[in-house]
Structure 1
Amino acid sequence: MIVAFLAGVAFALIARWVGITRFERIIGFGLLLDFTVAKILLVAIGTSALAFFVEYQLGAAVLEVKPLLIGGVVAGGVLFGVGMALLGYCPGTMPMALGEGSLDAGVGLAGGLTAGLLYTLVYPWVAPWIGPDLGAVNLYVQDPVACALIVAVFAAVLFAAAFWLDRRRPSAPEPAAGVESAMK
């Protein structure tokens, strides 16, 4: 738990340093003008995959795969995208921006929590429309060596993509130039 907390603090500090808590940075990524957000997320997901695999193998983590519901994934993706486009924050950057004093992030956080509560309340009525339950889908195999290979390749692909993006389109310390003019 302490390691996870320290990793979260490290991620927050890096996120703050590169400015992914700023509206301009998020919108710059949405407009494909600034790939800082993508690079940070690729490295974070790759690192998390490796760390979770080690924790799981040591018995310190539990793998609980939820059922695949295509309608729910599509609806959730659309709502996530609309919320991110309207606010300029993703769920991870919103609390960080709130901690920096961005009041709009507080409104977004309250809205997200309210939407989650509403979904919980209406779930019994919308459940039939979110599609068939396709069961728990995952790539985990019982052989730890094969699973380690899958995780290592996955992480390596994400790291390679982040470094490729960095070489292809390096990001400036400040949000991408032209974001403001592209939004007009």
Structure 2
Amino acid sequence: MIGRMPGDVAAKNLFRRFLRDRQGVAAIEFAFMVPLLLVVMLAAMSLYFVFHDAKATEKSTFTVGDIVSRRTTVDTTFLNSSYQMFLRMTNRTDASVKFRISSVKKEGGAYKVVWSYPVAPQKALANADVPVSRLPLLSEGDSLILVETVITPPAINNFLPLKIADYNNLEAVRPRFTSAITKTN
């Protein structure tokens, strides 16, 4: 039988002492957890910015609709200034925004476009394109102002450039002080 060598006992004791030693365990756990915590924090911040942008876009659409609904007549200059106001409220450039304001009236049981102010690349609203399922019920002869906005948000971050859905908003508001808002030019 071969006896144990003194070096084997020392190595075994050294290994047992290493297994029992708990110094540095917290540092190793910290090193594993920090990247995970950073990813979770960045994801939470990114989601906050997405929801903040979506809410700001929705509020801006409602604000433009409310301002237009308080008029009795509008012209191209006023509608263009409404568009510029929308851009400022959402902190956007022309390239990432589609914008259209239209007046729709119910005649003969159908919704008909009275006038439409589109900003390129958006096209004027046609009678066939009126989103009837998204509009409130109207009595014969009533009218609505439709404010439609679409914003393409920027990438959430440069590290992981994910494309999220566009912010589509439609507000249908009734004119406040007249039965229909007319467009003069």
Question: What TM-score do the two structures reach when normalised by structure 1?
Answer: 0.26
If asked which structure has higher relative contact order (CA below 8 Å, sep 6+), I would say 1
More strand, by proportion: 2
More helix, by proportion: 1
